[in-house]
Structure 1
Amino acid sequence: MPRLPKLAVLATAALLPLTLASCSSAPDQEGAADSSGDWTPVEVEHALGTTTIESEPERVATVNWANHEVPLALGVVPVGMAAANFGDDNNDGVLPWVEEKLQELDAETPVLFDETDGIDFEAVADTRPDVILAAYSGLIQEDYDTLSEIAPVVAYPETAWGTSWRDTIELNSAALGMADEGAELIAGLEDEITEAVAEHPQIEGASAMFLTHVDTTDLSEVSFYTTHDTRALFFDDIGLQTPQSVADASAETDQFSLTHSAERADAFDDVDVIVTYGGEELVTALEGDPLLSQMPAVRNSAVVSLPGDSPLGTAANPTPLSISWVLDDYLSLLAEAADGAQ
């Protein structure tokens, strides 16, 4: 997960629709290799331009959050990837589900790019990649242009940090010539989610909103993720509903989060469950605030407070490998909150 970006999403001049097309014939079941085994160039349109992968990539680099999980899930080990800077339980730059996958593939940890101060272009270049995957990212045009001097880059389809886990898999797998394998990965995860959700029927139909990191020393404002953010999008996957209050606010912006005065907290009377990052101190602060305590979800103790400094804290931001790793725990917490809301 990236460090929390600024509230305003960087706008792009033109938001292009997601299209994946072959320059000659559509990829067959072997990905972008035709019946003769030759590579068929793949063209990907995204928010920052159009990228053509002319030849089959052998050295894959990824930047920003979670893009490396797509090739790993498909059995391809990147030559370099961004070091984890959120939820890293042992400070080695690799999240536990990624570490497990590397062990499964009997692979060493790729070169880790330190993105604390932004993309390390020199480190990326040193890995000599044939393609750079960034379907889920916050790239700005300058970043994209610089990376494109190193290798073809696949950026996000519409909004920075707004690519769903499905689209992340679709774009990144297509760039690898593994579109069919990517589709199978998506289908498998959808089946797994469906089976897990069925074990928690109380979640179905409950409305949920995700508060951004709450400052317990200043509860005069309420910040929350809009439906443009992947955390809120994941609610739909697991049977939760978007409250009308959040849907209406989201319709008026392309930003992934918004901030309202706590005096407007009654606007969220249609919220059954609140998800946020924090611990018991946060829940206690919400329950003790004269305004926020009137929100039904707070009044009913239907608050899921995820530990932001542990792997579980990443559960709300679904990625190709983390979904299986954290799904049951996340759903159990949501189910407990939903029970309180009833």
Structure 2
Amino acid sequence: MATNGSPSPVRLDRRTLLRGAGALGLLGLTACGTPGGGGTGDRTIAHKFGTTAVSGTPTRIVTVGLTDQDYAVALGTVPVGIREWFGTQPGALWPWARERAGNAQPAVLPVEALNFEQIAALRPDLVLGPSGGLTSDDYRTLSGIAPTIAQPGEFADYGAPWQKIAEMTGAALGVPDRAAQLVRDVDTRFATTRDANPSFRGRTGLLVSVLADGSYYAYAEGPAPRFLVDLGFTLPPATEQIFTGPERAPRQLSREQLGLLEADVLLVGLYGDRAAAQIAGDPVMRGLRVAREGRMVLMPETSTVNGTLSFGSVLSLPVALDEVPPRIAAALDGNPATAVAPAR
């Protein structure tokens, strides 16, 4: 996140917002449709800027979205270049993808701006960006290098849900059936976890980011909020009312609004070295029931738990389903003695 540990105000830019929420996947999924034909013959994939024809089996893929690498790796192709989102992981692959990538060493592309010369030098035969927010100019330039799949048009930029990203990636790589199976596998994992944790059903849960300057941002959309919903949680009714507009954008909370963080469980993303100290030294926050009763799950920025929820991908979600529910269960009991240490 764009913080530097300084007490001066920190501007929360688009990339920071995305990291706090995970990519801004929309809470209510609509019918996605079929992006293209099956198999490795000719197929056409629809996206925000039209359609792109792909044939054969692409082998030199460059990913330019935030999390597209996970889907390509899950479907058996390690990209030759990956646009890194955050975490400074080797090859821009977090552990859940790295273990499947073998000894591959993808080139790392900067997230701040596309380096078209670097991309062209990688000689890609396909550029993937379903999880991103390409502009029309970006798309035109990339299409001059290789067939390019942009983000779907029916969702906000950076807002495609993981099911849609898997579907588009499977079509582009010519393995739609494998992609559909990945989606079914993750959905089954969610169902199993819900069945194993009936106490989650109907409880309230919320995601908040705390920055090094002591500011708080609450989220209604994105993989982490959707993760809670998929486990049976709902937003606190009072907090639900502050999110407006079709994207239900993240909201910064004033000191007077911190009571909106009261929930049965609160996932807290800690961004910057001083974020945890800000919570510990905040008398308003310490006075909330959610803090007094140990109902917070603390997630430092580069922890595996925060990474899995931020990515919210077909590879990271199974890890999240192993790591996060036990922490949530410990927080839900309202006993501060059972509160777990910040995630690593």
| TM-score computed with the length of structure 2 as normaliser | 0.78
Task: List runs of 5+ in structure 1 lacking aligned partners.
Answer: 11-15, 34-38
In structure 1, what is the equivalent of residue 74 of structure 2?
Answer: 73
State the shift of 1:133 in Å: 1.2
CA distance in 2, matches of 1:127, 1:230: 31
State the shift of 1:171 in Å: 1.6
One-letter identity of the residue aligned with 2:104: T
CA distance in 1, matches of 2:280, 2:252: 19
State the shift of 1:341 in Å: 7.6
SS, match of residue 81 in structure 1: strand
In structure 2, what is the equivalent of residue 277 of structure 1?
Answer: 269
In structure 1, what is the equivalent of residue 44 of structure 2?
Answer: 42
* CA offset digits 1:133-185 (Å, max 9, x no partner): 11111333332232222223222222122222111111211222222221111
One-letter identity of the residue aligned with 1:148: S
State the shift of 1:304 in Å: 0.6
RMSD of equivalent CA atoms: 3.2
Q: Does 1:5 align with 2:6?
A: no
In structure 2, what is the equivalent of residue 51 of structure 1?
Answer: 51
1:1-342 alignment runs, 5 A limit: 5=15, 7=17, 18-22=32-36, 27=37, 31-33=38-40, 39-46=41-48, 49-59=49-59, 60-83=61-84, 85-86=86-87, 88=89, 91=90, 93-103=92-102, 108-157=103-152, 158-215=155-212, 217-218=213-214, 221-227=215-221, 229-252=222-245, 254=247, 256-269=249-262, 271-278=263-270, 282=275, 285-286=278-279, 288-317=281-310, 318-340=312-334
Identity %: 24
In structure 2, what is the equivalent of residue 13 of structure 1?
Answer: none
State the shift of 1:20 in Å: 3.1
SS, match of residue 315 in structure 1: helix
One-letter identity of the residue aligned with 2:324: Y
Tell me the matched-pair count. Answer: 312
State the shift of 1:287 in Å: 5.6
Structure 2 contact 309–320 (Cα < 8 Å) conserved: no
CA distance in 2, matches of 1:153, 1:159: 18
One-letter identity of the residue aligned with 2:255: A
Structure 2 contact 43–171 (Cα < 8 Å) conserved: no
Structure 1 contact 193–238 (Cα < 8 Å) conserved: yes
CA distance in 1, matches of 2:252, 2:112: 26
* CA offset digits 1:222-267 (Å, max 9, x no partner): 311232x222122222222222334333333526421121212234
CA distance in 1, matches of 2:128, 2:241: 33
SS, match of residue 184 in structure 1: helix
CA distance in 2, matches of 1:123, 1:284: 40
SS, match of residue 101 in structure 1: helix
CA distance in 2, matches of 1:323, 1:266: 30
Structure 1 contact 315–322 (Cα < 8 Å) conserved: yes
* CA offset digits 1:195-233 (Å, max 9, x no partner): 234333332322111112333x53xx4311232x22212
Task: List runs of 5+ in structure 2 lacking aligned partners.
Answer: 3-12, 25-29, 337-344
SS, match of residue 79 in structure 2: coil
Structure 1 contact 245–268 (Cα < 8 Å) conserved: no
